[in-house]
Structure 1
Amino acid sequence: MKILMLGAGGFGNNWRPSLDGRFNTQVVALVDNNQSSLEEAGNFYGVPNERRFSNLSDPWEEVEADLILDNTPHFLHYDNAKRGLSAGRNMIFCKPLCVTMKQALDIVDLAEKHSAKITVAQQLRYTKIILLLKEIVQSGKLGQISSVYLEWHSTVGLSKGWRLDQPDFMLLEGSIHHLDFARMIMGTDAKTVIAQTWKDKWNTKKSNDSCTAVFEMADGSMLSYRATWTGKSQPYSGWWCDWRIEAENGWLTVKYNDIKLNGEPIDVGSDYQINIAQHNVEIFRETKEWIEGGAEPSFSGKNNLPSLAMIFGAR
Structure 2
Amino acid sequence: MTENAHPLPPELLAVAKRLLHRPADCHKYDFGRVLVIGGSRSMAGAPALAGMAALRAGAGVVEVAVPQSVAATVAGFDPALIVHGLPEADGGCFEGSALAGLLALVQRADVVVCGPGMGRSPVLLDLVLALWRDFPRTLLLDADGLNALAEIPEDRLKRPAGPRLLTPHAGEMRRLHAGTPASRPEFEAAVDAFARDRHAVLVLKGHRSRITDGTRHDLNASGSPGLATAGAGDVLSGVIAAIAAQGIAPFEAARFGVWLHGIAGELACEALSAPGMTAGDVLDALPVAWKALDA
TM-score, structure 1 normalization: 0.41
Give the helix-richer structure, 1 or 2. Answer: 2
TM-score, structure 2 normalization: 0.43
Q: Determine which structure has more spread, i.e. the larger CA radius of gyration.
A: 1
